[in-house]
Amino acid sequence: MGTKERQQRDRDRLRHAILTAARDLFVTEGYRNVSMRKVADRIEYSAAAIYSYFPSKDDIFFALAEEGFRLLADELLATVKDTADPLDRLRRGLWAFYEFSKSNREYFELMFVDRSVPSLSQDFQRFEFFQETTARAEADLQACIARGEFSRELNPAAALHVLWVGMLGAATIGLSQRLAPGEDPDALARDLLDTLLSGFTTGIRSTFVASECAFHASAAVTSTTTTLNHA
């Protein structure tokens, strides 16, 4: 009896050990310096053995990315937990997103920047992280709109994208170290966040309508749909 079950337990245990070894290497030595042989050495198996637990190296990193999304979701939840004000919740959440890019460089790069794990681009939207976290953030955005802190024409889903993708820019520049020595990526991130939130305030966008039209009529922009504001 119970043989199958024990075999399955053993398999799960080894699978877990592989992920642990890969994660340790990954966070200390960086994404690019993890090799199947190094992982194998850590768990004291041959490199070939790993291939009966993961079809390829990419699949290990896909699993680690999933882990990263859980980590980030937990981090965001913890950050926002004791804050009642929707605008403060948004600020703190977005700032935590940026901070995560520094405290978990390798995870972050894997999750949002890297192109070398193709399956991540494909299955990105499937992570439940996005359902939960975006729903919460959109509710906060909606609350800010209801309170009159943000423009009433704002589309919460599109606005949330604008916010986190903006912060992604700051995170990317911080990770890739493309700033001059004197320039502080944290200050830049903060200014970026301030500017974006300011941009959502009621009645601002109308001052731009004239030049927007000029711009949108140019050849530079092909799409004519606007997702940020409701129709």
Site for its own copies in 20-39 (CB under 8 A): 32
Of 9, 20, 47, 147, the one binding DNA (CB under 7 A) is 47
Residue 99 in the binding site for its own copies (CB under 8 A):
yes
Site for its own copies in 53-92 (CB under 8 A): 79, 85, 87-88, 91-92
Instruction: Pick what 186 binds: DNA, its own copies, none; C-beta below 5 to 8 Å, kind-dependent.
Output: its own copies
Q: How far apart are CA 159 and CA 202, in angstroms?
A: 13
Of 24, 45, 102, 175, the one binding DNA (CB under 7 A) is 45
Task: Judge whether 155 and 228 are in contact, CB under 8 Å.
Answer: yes
Of 9, 12, 20, 51, the one binding DNA (CB under 7 A) is 51
Q: How far apart are CA 98 and CA 156, in angstroms?
A: 20
Q: Site size for its own copies, by CB under 8 A? A: 74
CB burial of 81-104 (b: ≥16 within 10 Å; e: otherwise) equals eeeeebbebbbbbbbbbbbbbeeb
Residue 1 in the binding site for DNA (CB under 7 A):
yes
Nearer to its own copies, 3 or 225 (CB): 225
Task: Please report where in the chains the tokens 């310096």 appear, as a residue.
Answer: 33
Structure tokens at 207: 């001052």
Q: Could you give the string, one character per residue 10-39, with x where binding to DNA holds by CB under 7 A and - elsewhere?
A: xx--x-------------------xxxxx-
Q: Could you give the string, one character per residue 107-146, with x where binding to its own copies holds by CB under 8 A and - elsewhere?
A: --x--xxxxx---xx--xx---------------------
Instruction: Pick what 34 binds: DNA, its own copies, none; C-beta below 5 to 8 Å, kind-dependent.
Output: DNA
Segment near DNA (CB under 7 A), from 47-55, 80-88, 102-110, 196-204?
47-55
Site for its own copies in 163-222 (CB under 8 A): 165-173, 175-181, 183-184, 186-188, 190-192, 194-201, 204-205, 207-208, 211-212, 214-215, 218, 220-222
Q: How far apart are CA 39 and CA 26, in angstroms?
A: 10
Q: Which residues bind DNA (CB under 7 A)?
A: 1, 3-4, 6-7, 10-11, 14, 34-38, 44-49, 51-52, 56-58
